[in-house]
Chains A and B, each alone.
Chain A
Amino acid sequence: MHRGKLILLQLLVGVLTISVWEIGTSVPIGGSYLLPPFFFSTPVDVALRIIKWFVEGTVWRHLWITLYEAMMAFIIGSAAGVIIGFWFARQPVVAAVFDPYVKMINALPRVVLAPIFALWFGLGAASKIALGITLVFFIVFFNVYQGVREVSPTILANARMLGMNDRALMRHVYWPSALSWMFSSLHTSVGFAVVGAVVGEYLGSAAGLGYLIQQAEGVFDVAGVFAGMLVLAAFVLVIDGLVTMAERRLLVWRPAAETHSL
């Protein structure tokens, strides 16, 4: 589809949604509102709230804290995932021994860990980072493990015929293959890093977007809740755009159909 047309349609969906919201909250139908403002606020109120946050500058600190927590969770979780994924893939015995435990921990809904992390690491950024790590780690770990295990046998045989020793195989075959699998899950792992931070903040903290939303909910400030969600959504869109840009650079060697866009 033509790019201009696409953007136009995307805008149209947004305008329509906001119109329905505005009409539902401000035009009484048969004596009652379709979307009572007490539960749904109104687009104008929410917009004013967002503008106020940015004009007063209070929101920046929360954005920065959430970004910081997500980034740390992503970096530490990815590094651990790459190292352990590589290790397990190259040491089948280790992988077999730990297999049931990995599955057990991965099956655990990570939200239940949040209070424990708060207990261990306090209410500051550390407990949110820890929560994010538990989410990011497994995505990266499984992808790297897969990437190392699933190198085509023909490519491996070719590498050996071309004179590669174990170290060269690592560097020229296993490593790029593992990284490509990791990068192809970049959207998911970055997304989960943000989820970890926000959920952690929501369940107990003094700063961050999750905290902002939780505070507003505590006093039935629906405009505040919606404003918080919209800022969070915009934040995620921006990060996702950055990931797409990084992906284009890192996966140039992949056929275009395999790299997702958005």
Chain B
Amino acid sequence: MRGALDLDGVTVAFRLADGGIYTAVEGATLSVADGEFVAIVGPTGCGKSTLLNVAAGLQPPAAGVVRKAGVPLTALNRDAGYLFQADALFPWKTALDNVAIGLETAGVSRRQARERAQAWLTRVGLGAFGNRYPHMLSGGQRKRVGLAQVLIRDPKILLMDEPFGPLDAQTRQIMGNLLLELWSTDRKAVLFVTHDLDEAIALADRVVIMSAGPASRIIGDWPVTLPRPRDIAEVKVEPAFRALHRDIWQVLKGEVLKGYAQTGGG
């Protein structure tokens, strides 16, 4: 297989402070084709963020290979844009400068970078918020700035780690539709982590399930054939959606319970 991104038998282990070794992920094989939207769902602490860090080249795997466009990854993944789970905006830069910085580092002149950043802020609905600092934005607005910050660099593959995690239900829906709308214009490869199965099915072309850790594995891979364009709210009431949800939940339920038992719910 030769997708935008391939993980081949990836195992990730951490050295603990007490000298022991914790195997977070074991033998994960996963491939994201060009233009494909893949969602990863798994219980908390199973290693979803860890897997994205591996895909980004931030965390070298203990075993296995990561390939981008068929080439083994040895350093940072330059094709990837990464929307982190935790807040990652630069607090000392305005929203506009936060978005523009990714172009400036690529050698675009500051004036041009800011112009294009303004256009991106407008696309995510924050055209009037360019001169605000991150602490003056709501959680949802910050996530939108983060999305613009990543997308302005036009990455070939988009890694997203529970981007709508801390948001309320309505905002999640709006953000989900915004994401689908942006994605539909150029169909990047997307690897999208969430703990929300509804969200995963509504957004993705494929849903991948991870087992509870330690030594978490990929235990399921379902194609989602619901037609596009989709509306997050509407797609959830379709019978095909409900049926798929039931199938996947059968597998996921046990893992979620196991995950809670092992990690104490977080």
A residues with a Cβ closer than 8 A to B are: 152, 154-155, 157-165, 168, 172-173, 176-177, 180, 252-255
Report B48-68 CB contacts with A as 1/0, cut-off 8 Å: 000000001010000000000
CB-based contact A161/B81 at 8 Å: yes
- CA–CA, A56 to B84, complex, Å? 66
A-B contact pairs, 7 of them (CB 8 A): A155-B90, A158-B89, A158-B90, A159-B90, A164-B101, A164-B105, A253-B92
With A154-B87, A253-B91 known as contacts, the answer to whether A168 contacts B105 (CB < 8 A) is: yes
- CA–CA, A165 to B104, complex, Å? 12
Cβ of A161 to closest chain B Cβ, rounded Å = 5
CB-based contact B135/A254 at 8 Å: yes
Cβ of B89 to closest chain A Cβ, rounded Å = 8
CB-based contact A176/B92 at 8 Å: yes
CB-based contact A253/B93 at 8 Å: yes
- CA–CA, A252 to B97, complex, Å? 14
Asked if B76 CB lies within 8 Å of chain A CBs, one says yes
Contact of B135 among A152, A163, A255 (CB under 8 A): A255
Cβ of B186 to closest chain A Cβ, rounded Å = 19
CB-based contact B105/A163 at 8 Å: yes
In the A-B complex, the 6 residue pairs with the closest CB atoms: A158-B88, A253-B133, A163-B105, A176-B92, A162-B102, A154-B86
Chain B positions within 8 Å of A173 at CB level: 90
- CA–CA, A92 to B61, complex, Å? 27
With A155-B90, A253-B133, A255-B135 known as contacts, the answer to whether A162 contacts B84 (CB < 8 A) is: no
- CA–CA, A155 to B93, complex, Å? 12
Chain A positions within 8 Å of B93 at CB level: 172, 176, 253
Q: Interface residue count for B (Cβ, 8 Å)?
A: 26
- CA–CA, A255 to B92, complex, Å? 11
Q: B92: nearest residue on chain A (CB-CB)? A: A176
Asked if B80 CB lies within 8 Å of chain A CBs, one says yes
Q: B88: nearest residue on chain A (CB-CB)? A: A158
CB-based contact B133/A154 at 8 Å: no
- Point out which of B80, B91, B133, B134 has the most chain A C-beta atoms below 10 A from its C-beta: B91
With A158-B84, A162-B102 known as contacts, the answer to whether A172 contacts B135 (CB < 8 A) is: no
CB-based contact B90/A161 at 8 Å: no
CB-based contact B153/A252 at 8 Å: no
Apart from A157-B58, A253-B133, what 16 extra A-B contacts exist at CB < 8 Å? Answer: A152-B86, A152-B88, A154-B84, A154-B87, A157-B82, A158-B88, A158-B89, A158-B90, A162-B105, A163-B105, A172-B101, A176-B90, A177-B92, A252-B133, A253-B134, A255-B135
Chain A positions within 8 Å of B92 at CB level: 176-177, 180, 253
- Point out which of B90, B93, B102 has the most chain A C-beta atoms below 10 A from its C-beta: B90
CB-based contact B88/A155 at 8 Å: yes
Q: A157: nearest residue on chain B (CB-CB)? A: B58
CB-based contact B102/A163 at 8 Å: yes
Asked if B16 CB lies within 8 Å of chain A CBs, one says no
